[in-house]
Structure 1
């Protein structure tokens, strides 16, 4: 077996120790010590802990106490805190049986050093049928593509965003797929830019006519295109079709060029599986640009306060690249209240298709200087090059949903910023990073559901080859993303140094309460406005929403109407304030649907699972309704006997019943409910965690027997009223 990699259980132990000490995510000094003092954990010395003097080293993972003059290692601290280290060891035997994940960068690569990669000799690119080119942002990858395409009769460029496709069409002087009156017209365009979501339009309508062939296929930002195929912008079987078309286009192309500033193993595996390793080369441009200083802030509120000072100087536009739509809207609301609506431009998923947003995007270098603040989310961030000078760009990147590659893509859109700043979440995770394990989880789930639902008996195709091929890509994309998200800040810093930034950590101890209060007020105002609008507008069905143009879709009333439709469809009732609040809190829709499934006959849910298979829903998006119902129904039956708040258990009784349940379903919880090995395995915790998935809660009651536990009666009554 491969050598045991102790990193994952160690990271989980570190996270729990830091949580117990109360220092997780805290600011550190240049020696790696958390600035906040904590009480010493040692039990055998005498000093007054009313004034703590022990400091946790977040880099070396030890605790040093200045009062007793001793340092305590990670394992010692865990033992003194009462953390059972044994719970982190069972993964060891499991990991010994797993193959080590392959490195991100292929071993076979050709290193070059070009300030402008467009100067790369054509002969170098012609050595293999397919070339993967990794070159830093701003080194001329698009210019290289333009030079190579000039000598080809038929060239197809594939990107992952509409905005990027328009930019590429302009720079390459190619047709854009949006220009075609009919899909068949695309087949006759010799030089075409298209997005991954529209690859199906290249399938000829007439039976027996093959896919168009191209002298060269260029996949721009290839790692993001492949990741996009596994995302949520595809419905039903669209991702399967797009993946099949992309593989066929690559297989039939005279030459393939895959470009990305962070190209790596993901693209290498994709192309070599189609063409063979002897047909693919990996060129790594290791030229390091001097990009100046990138300041990394520990608190976003302090960074925003600094941005406020620059905006007040009014010496150029200040830009914010924000990972989440809600945070971007909150930030925009705060600045609109301070500067006026005309001074602030927000581009996010809510309005990116509107006339105003499209006019701004299409003329961004002329429009940008007219604004004091620009705030954008990923809907703009990886699709546009901003050449206009800006006073500063600030990145606000929380742990979800972007990985470090995406964060740098967003930050790199502004090519001429006087200053660059970023806040990146320092919270570490413990997501699965082995693509084989991720693949096996989805594959096994699909296979078990197929057997439970008797797919063969009903003539339903089980696991087709094209489904397995897409699932393999899904597993690799998620493993790559998880590696980054598990240490988002560390990975972000490593990429920054590789891309030529020198890092600086501003002194920003503590929080800016003024900024936090303003952000809270803006957030609450937006929430109240949305609530009032959803409760007052007429419902808009998804079909009506999709049929509307981008200008209508961007209107708040239209989006509120769509949300109202979903709420009323979920609960089967006319909307009320209570329904809105329940839907809006946490995972209201998911919880209710899972709760309702408890009352549906297994045969109906099995039919639903078969319908998903017949509809070619990708394996990683299937609901496994009948299996999940069986797992959760067994929970209620084993622990409580019936779904009733009157059943009260002592902790001893609860532990015994949950022990029986976990003996049967521990692996099922990991596979079907994504329960991680580093989660607490305390029976009470697991039961609470499962009940929350049903919109319920485990409540503690005082009795003559001591503490007893049962289902919260009020929540159960509420969920039953929503059925």
Structure 2
């Protein structure tokens, strides 16, 4: 415990007075049979009343100093360290909304009742402490929180009357909106502490208190060591006292304290050494540095117990890689075995989980659970499923995953440091399977010797290190977040005589890259530099020695986790790691890493909790001074660094530093960036020329020109001398590598002109005519043949939005469209507009092909525009109503789609950022506070306000 603070004289005097008051009324309680009888009905015994020091005041009165002592039950709250009274809470007799007196009022036989149920004696300081009990067993590690004093006293009774519980429970407190001052000082909250929070199963303010308490507890206790236990519906914790002599309360702290997820810290070079712990648990989380063999540990576990097993991943390349590495244990990949769905040990992507319906596996492994959870709520699945469209939706994939996990003996996941979607996914899994108390998290603190990490603010300085160090004794790895940077660096190094291999999204299908990725350790020594974009992250490993690793980032879209995973591909680095993080990267904020390191120590916030393992060293951050060496568990290392930059206090999200630390890099050096070296200045012009060449290359897509293509280009006025050698397309890469295709844009422009509607530009559709033709000839392989950068889901939502935009005559000048829940005439469209749209599609064979393969609806088969639109909108679960001779979207179907889409979103921000093109189909109430509850997957808004809401499609411009 920290040093005991000196109380103010006034507070000590008040505490002494309250001691006398409480002692007096405690004696009075023992002489009042009516009230004692009521307390026994509430579960109190003589021992609990004595331990609580509970008092009873039959009538309010004033002390000599003017302090009012209300009538009711007096609960003294004592400082956990000094044991002095700092608050007296009074449970008053009261009547409910219907005027009925409560049981305490009946026992006290009073008629004049106060308006509030609780009050405090003047001078009380509630934030200073928690009401409760501290027990003496030093080996106990559980702290229990309940909502009020009465619940707290009943839990205390359950503990002292059940043999064995005192060995595991070290304290019981009532809940507050946070951790009280004296509890912080008491030293009871340690890294080994486990917490049970009892909550009533209602929607009262008590749940808000519980949520606030749990949030603050995570600053002191690992989230997986906190269990929230709800009473049965309509009951509170007190009611347990009246059921089977309240022993069910003890059941909730069941089985000698194993009710809370166990976290085990190990220090093992290989995770397979921990597998003997797995067999006793249902849900098993593995958190270990890269290179400690998590994947092989799973293989050995299922082999030892002769289990069937399913491993789920989030990417196709990772699926193949995991299956190859575990082939000796009988695992097969869904892409390499036609009969994989019937196999006993299989590796599948989450997007193919529907092929395993009805199957049962002994073990289900969710590899990289953070990414899998994000896929389930992201845009990689279809919007909805209908009779004509059997695509897998995120909601149905989630249900299938839950079903597989419920039938399994063990569920294993990696990434114990969970993001929010993954945390709620696992939380729901525990609730659905009723296996709340069988959760094991293994945290491997093993850290083999890691190279030093040099952090730079300027990318040119990393480039200088590349040129200065050259090849060296071993090949080198360069990782970046941009295919453009891969090309530039590769060209620069080749001109200097180095043998390089460039891996990015446009080269992964070439023969050289395929062969290298299949077995990089056999070919790595043939190259001086391996340069890669995020094409390589998890599932790719270089075991051979590597000289230096360079992280050369632009900061456009890559995350801290992706960057560290790229760096971690090199398992055996003999040199150093040189890292640049762009100042304008949204992930990192415009603050230099050196300043962040300095300000860590100025504000001293992150040194609040100190332990003796997992040291992190931040050396030589300024003038070769040595920074003190703090130590803290990695999960304590939060993004809470305060930095004073440019005379402004900013919150800095040091995600990259946190990730590097988690992965075992402890020697992190912040380098004062100097002026760009001459060696880099000399190649500035060369780089600029290369950039210009790439930009020129990017605007000219060279393909053979056949007669039909030439005719299309000439009709549109696009055929020039340049295009004699190929089709000229204006391709602009955005931060995510998607493509704007001018041809598709021109199609929609023509449609808009024919129907006198505003110009519509769809910026993320990149289906090329030659791809469409191949799809038309291979209908059974449609989705597998789509280009890598093409999102089927994205195309569906953008094309739908564009078609609907053309139907509404009262569109905004920007080309947007509006719809409301009211089927009013002004938001209806006529059959004439629908026929115009269908005619425009039927006249353009190429665009017909787009609609056919994106929606599965062929415009050529329909005679009227309304028939076509009915089939089209049915793909999204939307219906068309007829209203006074015109047509509009059915309000009920729109509401159902709104509800479904809301369940896919993490937050309103995510809705606006990721699905703006369908925002016109989502009705939400901007005037109400929508509460996110991912556990129940419900978002609520009022029908009345929704009827007034007008939704505008924001992505049509």
Q: Following TM superposition, by how much is the alpha carbon of 1:582 offset from its aligned partner in structure 2, in angstroms?
A: 11
- Contact kept? 2:564, 2:656, Cα under 8 Å: yes
Q: Deviations over 1:324-382 (max 9, x none)?
A: 33433443444455558xx3322222332444322221121122222222222222222
Q: Following TM superposition, by how much is the alpha carbon of 1:506 offset from its aligned partner in structure 2, in angstroms?
A: 3.0
- Contact kept? 1:323, 1:402, Cα under 8 Å: yes
What is aligned with 1:188?
342
Q: Following TM superposition, by how much is the alpha carbon of 1:101 offset from its aligned partner in structure 2, in angstroms?
A: 5.1
Partner Cα separation in structure 2 for residue 124 and residue 141 of structure 1: 14
Q: Is 1:236 equivalent to 2:383 in the alignment?
A: yes
Partner Cα separation in structure 2 for residue 157 and residue 629 of structure 1: 35
Label 1:376 to 1:101 Cα distance change in 2 as closer, same or farther (>3 A). Answer: farther
- Contact kept? 1:219, 1:258, Cα under 8 Å: yes
Q: Following TM superposition, by how much is the alpha carbon of 1:573 offset from its aligned partner in structure 2, in angstroms?
A: 8.6
What is aligned with 1:388?
544
Partner Cα separation in structure 1 for residue 272 and residue 669 of structure 2: 33
What is aligned with 2:777?
none
- Contact kept? 1:272, 1:280, Cα under 8 Å: no
The secondary structure found in structure 1 opposite 2:501 is: strand
What is aligned with 1:310?
469
Q: Is 1:563 equivalent to 2:748 in the alignment?
A: no
Q: Is 1:299 equivalent to 2:455 in the alignment?
A: no
Q: Following TM superposition, by how much is the alpha carbon of 1:179 offset from its aligned partner in structure 2, in angstroms?
A: 1.6
- Contact kept? 2:639, 2:655, Cα under 8 Å: no
Query: Which of the numbers 339, 344, 369 marks the counterpart of 1:222?
Result: 369
Label 1:262 to 1:570 Cα distance change in 2 as closer, same or farther (>3 A). Answer: farther
Q: Following TM superposition, by how much is the alpha carbon of 1:522 offset from its aligned partner in structure 2, in angstroms?
A: 2.5
- Contact kept? 2:266, 2:442, Cα under 8 Å: no
Q: Following TM superposition, by how much is the alpha carbon of 1:137 offset from its aligned partner in structure 2, in angstroms?
A: 1.2
**Runs of 5+ unmatched residues, structure 1:** 4-94, 204-210, 432-479, 541-554, 632-663, 672-690, 696-718
What is aligned with 2:448?
289
Query: Which of the numbers 267, 278, 285 marks the counterpart of 1:125?
Result: 278
What is aligned with 2:313?
159
The secondary structure found in structure 2 opposite 1:302 is: helix
Q: Deviations over 1:222-257 (max 9, x none)?
A: 223223334444343433333222222112111111
Partner Cα separation in structure 2 for residue 603 and residue 295 of structure 1: 62
Q: Deviations over 1:523-548 (max 9, x none)?
A: 332121111227997899xxxxxxxx
The secondary structure found in structure 1 opposite 2:691 is: helix
Partner Cα separation in structure 2 for residue 556 and residue 191 of structure 1: 48
Q: Is 1:596 equivalent to 2:815 in the alignment?
A: yes
Partner Cα separation in structure 1 for residue 547 and residue 890 of structure 2: 55
- Contact kept? 1:106, 1:265, Cα under 8 Å: no
Q: Following TM superposition, by how much is the alpha carbon of 1:212 offset from its aligned partner in structure 2, in angstroms?
A: 0.4
Q: Following TM superposition, by how much is the alpha carbon of 1:192 offset from its aligned partner in structure 2, in angstroms?
A: 0.7
Q: Is 1:143 equivalent to 2:296 in the alignment?
A: yes
Partner Cα separation in structure 1 for residue 408 and residue 728 of structure 2: 46
Label 1:126 to 1:98 Cα distance change in 2 as closer, same or farther (>3 A). Answer: closer
Q: Deviations over 1:448-481 (max 9, x none)?
A: xxxxxxxxxxxxxxxxxxxxxxxxxxxxxxxx99
What is aligned with 1:254?
409
The secondary structure found in structure 1 opposite 2:347 is: strand
Query: Which of the numbers 96, 103, 106 marks the counterpart of 2:224?
Result: 106
Quick check: which one's helix share is greater?
A: 1
Partner Cα separation in structure 1 for residue 684 and residue 923 of structure 2: 45
Label 1:533 to 1:187 Cα distance change in 2 as closer, same or farther (>3 A). Answer: closer
Q: Following TM superposition, by how much is the alpha carbon of 1:188 offset from its aligned partner in structure 2, in angstroms?
A: 1.4
Partner Cα separation in structure 2 for residue 261 and residue 322 of structure 1: 26
Partner Cα separation in structure 2 for residue 488 and residue 391 of structure 1: 32
Q: Is 1:328 equivalent to 2:486 in the alignment?
A: yes
Label 1:147 to 1:359 Cα distance change in 2 as closer, same or farther (>3 A). Answer: same
Label 1:566 to 1:305 Cα distance change in 2 as closer, same or farther (>3 A). Answer: farther
The secondary structure found in structure 2 opposite 1:245 is: helix
Q: Following TM superposition, by how much is the alpha carbon of 1:583 offset from its aligned partner in structure 2, in angstroms?
A: 6.3
Q: Deviations over 1:293-326 (max 9, x none)?
A: 1111111111012112233x45432222212334
Which one has the largest radius of gyration? 2
TM-score by length of 2: 0.42
Alignment of 1:341-380 (within 5 A): 343-380=499-536
Q: Is 1:213 equivalent to 2:360 in the alignment?
A: yes
The secondary structure found in structure 2 opposite 1:508 is: coil
Label 1:622 to 1:599 Cα distance change in 2 as closer, same or farther (>3 A). Answer: closer
What is aligned with 2:336?
179
- Choose 322-331 or 387-396, whichever is displaced more: 322-331
Q: How many residues align?
A: 471
Label 1:573 to 1:96 Cα distance change in 2 as closer, same or farther (>3 A). Answer: farther
Label 1:253 to 1:366 Cα distance change in 2 as closer, same or farther (>3 A). Answer: same
TM-score by length of 1: 0.55
What is aligned with 1:436?
none
The secondary structure found in structure 2 opposite 1:378 is: coil
Label 1:135 to 1:582 Cα distance change in 2 as closer, same or farther (>3 A). Answer: closer
Query: Which of the numbers 663, 673, 676 marks the counterpart of 1:499?
Result: 663
Q: Deviations over 1:666-723 (max 9, x none)?
A: 999xx9xxxxxxxxxxxxxxxxxxx9x789xxxxxxxxxxxxxxxxxxxxxxx8xxxx
Label 1:629 to 1:259 Cα distance change in 2 as closer, same or farther (>3 A). Answer: closer
Partner Cα separation in structure 2 for residue 558 and residue 316 of structure 1: 42
Which structure would you say has the larger RCO, counting Cα contacts within 8 Å and 6 or more residues apart? 1
The secondary structure found in structure 2 opposite 1:153 is: coil
Q: Following TM superposition, by how much is the alpha carbon of 1:153 offset from its aligned partner in structure 2, in angstroms?
A: 3.4
The secondary structure found in structure 2 opposite 1:178 is: coil
Partner Cα separation in structure 2 for residue 358 and residue 487 of structure 1: 43
Partner Cα separation in structure 2 for residue 96 and residue 516 of structure 1: 59
Label 1:390 to 1:228 Cα distance change in 2 as closer, same or farther (>3 A). Answer: farther
RMSD, aligned CA: 5.0
The secondary structure found in structure 2 opposite 1:296 is: strand
**Runs of 5+ unmatched residues, structure 2:** 1-125, 128-207, 226-260, 385-392, 589-636, 642-649, 710-725, 732-738, 753-758, 765-797, 806-811, 820-825, 830-872, 874-887, 906-910, 933-951
Partner Cα separation in structure 2 for residue 363 and residue 131 of structure 1: 31
The secondary structure found in structure 1 opposite 2:673 is: coil
Label 1:239 to 1:372 Cα distance change in 2 as closer, same or farther (>3 A). Answer: farther
Partner Cα separation in structure 2 for residue 242 and residue 411 of structure 1: 32
Query: Which of the numbers 555, 565, 579 marks the counterpart of 1:422?
Result: 579
Partner Cα separation in structure 1 for residue 273 and residue 349 of structure 2: 27
Label 1:320 to 1:573 Cα distance change in 2 as closer, same or farther (>3 A). Answer: farther
